[in-house]
């Protein structure tokens, strides 16, 4: 089992959700958008180590994320640490009004 971070995205609306991930680092400029589609009344699990376009997230690098959508979604972020025999799992729910919308025209 590989350690990983993931976002579980829930779209309860009747519209497809166009979701963007922006990745922030302590020592470089943010990278994004990573574009994900989530169908109406569907869920999608996205592992951060599977995000490759516009650039892979370097393994072993601290990062934070901002996730925005054109329709209301619920995001649950989880981290699985399997570096030792006793696995650790952490999960949290996002607070939707804490971050302004990103300008996706930036590269």
Q: Could you tell me if residue 46 is inside a domain? A: yes
Distance CA 3, CA 81 (A): 5
Q: Could you tell me if residue 83 is inside a domain? A: yes
Q: Could you tell me if residue 64 is inside a domain? A: yes
Residue-wise pLDDT for 51-103, tens only, equals 999 999 988 788 889 999 999 898 988 876 545 666 555 666 665 554 444 45
Residue-wise pLDDT for 5-48, tens only, equals 889 999 999 999 999 999 999 999 999 999 999 999 999 999 99
Q: Could you tell me if residue 78 is inside a domain? A: yes
The residue assigned the tokens 């930036």 is 106
Are the beta carbons of 40 and 15 closer than 8 angstroms? yes
Local structure of residue 21 (DSSP, 8 states): E
Q: Could you tell me if residue 100 is inside a domain? A: no
Bridging pattern class, strands 4-11 and 88-93: unpaired
Q: Could you tell me if residue 101 is inside a domain? A: no
Question: Residues for the chain: how many in total?
Answer: 107
Q: Is the pTM of this model over 0.75?
A: yes
CATH number of the CATH domain containing 85: 2.60.290.11
Q: Could you tell me if residue 57 is inside a domain? A: yes
Looking at the structure of the chain, the number of domains it has is 1
Whole domain around residue 20: which residue ranges?
4-93
């Amino acid at each position: 089992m590989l350690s990983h971070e993931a976002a579980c995205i829930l779209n309860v609306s009747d519209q497809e959700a166009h979701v963007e991930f922006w990745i922030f680092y302590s020592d470089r400029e943010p990278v994004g958008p990573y574009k994900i589609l989530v169908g109406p009344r569907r869920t999608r699990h996205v592992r951060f180590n599977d995000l490759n376009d516009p650039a892979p997230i370097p393994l072993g690098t601290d990062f934070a994320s901002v996730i925005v959508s054109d329709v209301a979604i619920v995001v649950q972020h989880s981290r699985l640490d399997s570096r030792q025999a006793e696995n650790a799992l952490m999960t949290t729910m996002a607070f939707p009004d804490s971050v302004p919308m990103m300008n996706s025209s930036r590269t």
